[in-house]
Amino acid sequence: MDKIQLSGAQAAIKILEKEGVEYIFGLPGGNIIPLYDALVDSDIKLIQARHEQGAIHMADGYARATGKPGVVAVTSGPAAANLITGALTAHMDAVPLVVITGQTICENLGKDAFQEADIFNISMPAVKHSYLLKDARHIPSVFTEAFTICASGRPGPVWIDLPKDVSAGSCSLPLTQIKTDIPGYKVPEKGSKEDIAAAADIINHSQKPLLLVGHGAVISQASRAVIRLAEKLQAPVVNTLLGKGVFPETHPLSCGMLGMHGTAYANKALQYTDLILAIGSRFDDRINTDPSCFCPQAKKIHIDIDPAEINKIVKIDAGIVGDARVVVEELTRHVHKLDTGKWLRRINSYKKRYPLKYSKRGGLKVQKIIDRLYHLTDGKAIIATDVGQHQMWAAQFYKIDENDTWISSGGAGTMGFGFPAALGASFGRPDKTIAAICGDGGFQMTLFELATAAYHKKPVKIIIMDNSYHGMVRQWQDLFYNNRLSGVGLHNNPDFVKLAASYGIRGFRLKRSADVDKILTKALSYDKGPCLIHAMVAKEDNVFPMIVSGKSVEHMMISRPETKLERPKGGT
């Protein structure tokens, strides 16, 4: 016989094992019990979170740190609905996840049964693909397809809604290769010869080229290819927030992050380049604050695996649809070294004139903590951030040289993401020092996962930048709304050190700038489990440089302006 008889849940677990799944992040519940029961006999480890949102952020962090799909499994109704924020986060940032939710029995679908939610339709805008399984016989092919879809092309979450009678039903699992059929799903890889030739011709006539690397280049593991191309062309390189690590930020050709809170010299390069070569970047509104003035003097080439992104936001001169690494490797063969000496000298003059800096006055600064963390870890840690001012300062002052070591919520800007994502990364990369840089607001949205961190004794370093504000919103109210503060004060923050102690977690309090190195060194050397640093930072510091939504690079603020500012149309 070439099949074995199992329950639907047992077959699902067998497929997960076949796909190399190490961990499932989640919580149990009535309609997911058959899957959890089958998990008892598996070598796959269950990481029991304290909340469904924490579970899916852990799976996300695991996926970003390892490049392998993360898996989350929870029950139906409110549990499934609690995953939507995490699914949206992964979908916007192209992170491969397999999301499994229990569901009421098929007979009760659409009848408002207990803990029923139409999660198939609720989740649809937040996933790459979704399934509602009504026949246990389809489990082997659907679960296999899910891994193919979530990790190929432009990655993303794939949702499988699994009614309880289906997971408990009978399923024949083939012992040989499982056949999948995904009509119309074709993933481009090489890029057409004509498109590559057209792009190479534009590049070879450039005098002031600029490479822009985004998250697509991270996903395709294009680091070596991008380095070879940049060095061959002698072209400076800028990166998006999620493109950190593709091109080493310590490399002489690197200008660091561009965009709303990017380095001034990266944005100056954007303003004066005659060629922007975007590799796996969406040209989103964080780097393209005014599409009518984006790279005004430049030819534009766009490499992306998703054809929908070509000409979506920026009108380009040449587009190549394909895998970033494969396309860049081929493109490099068709270009030659450019005469960029004058252009590089100009870029270096911008670096000297507009360095990243911050005032040492006014209390303990987030920038100093991050800068010292960078030096004390030799830039080798995996950094996971929450969202807000601390996220931008981390992007500015913690230089990333290695792929898959920067984890941050980009497209969705999800508060509460950083800590559980760091915890997920620690399961996938136990060899690395992992630090979660959080704001006091975002941390309190998922702080319950301290219990998960403590139980598994994961040595994650949790650094809470406590300014008692939703800092980035306060900054915008300060700059554009005459400092009319509304809804941003966090004046009832807990004592985070005592909170950590209640979970059995080591805590450190940091109040003085003079103590930064001492406290960070103690935390970095602590290896008996997680530890938390409660940093009482300056309350009303602002992030600069800054380009306001709807404004061009010409309106970049290097420091706080003296004149009243017009209210921007876009969000923070």
Could you list the pLDDT tens digit for every one of the 572 residues in the chain? Answer: 578 899 999 999 999 999 999 999 999 999 999 999 999 999 999 999 999 999 999 999 999 999 999 999 999 999 999 999 999 999 999 999 999 999 999 999 999 999 999 999 999 999 999 999 999 999 999 999 999 999 999 999 999 999 999 999 999 888 777 877 788 888 988 999 999 999 999 999 999 999 999 999 999 999 999 999 999 999 999 999 999 999 999 999 999 999 999 999 999 999 999 999 999 999 998 898 888 888 888 999 999 999 999 999 999 999 999 999 999 999 999 999 999 999 999 999 999 999 999 999 999 999 999 999 999 999 999 999 999 999 999 999 999 999 999 999 999 999 999 999 999 999 999 999 999 999 999 999 999 999 999 999 999 999 999 999 999 999 999 999 999 999 999 989 999 999 999 999 999 999 999 999 999 999 999 999 999 999 999 999 999 999 988 788 888 999 888 777 778 777 77
Nearest CA to 488 among 479, 475, 506, 501? 475
- Whether residues 381 and 517 share a domain: the answer is yes
Q: Which DSSP state fits 289?
A: S
- Whether residues 340 and 381 share a domain: the answer is no
- Whether residues 164 and 211 share a domain: the answer is no
- For 170, residues 6+ apart whose C-beta sits below 8 A from its C-beta are 5, 6, 7, 8, 136
Backbone angles phi, psi at 177, to 5 degrees: -60, 135
Nearest CA to 34 among 99, 105, 120? 105
Query: What residues act catalytically?
Result: 52, 114-115, 164, 472
pLDDT of residue 293: 82
Whether 288 and 299 have beta carbons less than 8 Å apart is answered as: no
Domain that holds residue 148: 3-174
pLDDT of residue 184: 84
Burial of 430 (0-12, 13-18, 19+ CB in 10 A): exposed
- Whether residues 163 and 222 share a domain: the answer is no
Rounded (10°) CA dihedral 521, 383, 471, 571: 170
Sign, CA dihedral 398-404-407-408, equals positive
The answer to whether position 523 is within a domain reads yes
- Whether residues 342 and 431 share a domain: the answer is no
- Whether residues 110 and 168 share a domain: the answer is yes
The answer to whether position 555 is within a domain reads no
Question: What CATH number is associated with residue 411?
Answer: 3.40.50.970
The last residue of a domain, from among 306, 331, 353: 353
Count: domains in the chain: 3
The answer to whether position 450 is within a domain reads yes
- Whether residues 155 and 228 share a domain: the answer is no
- Whether residues 50 and 170 share a domain: the answer is yes
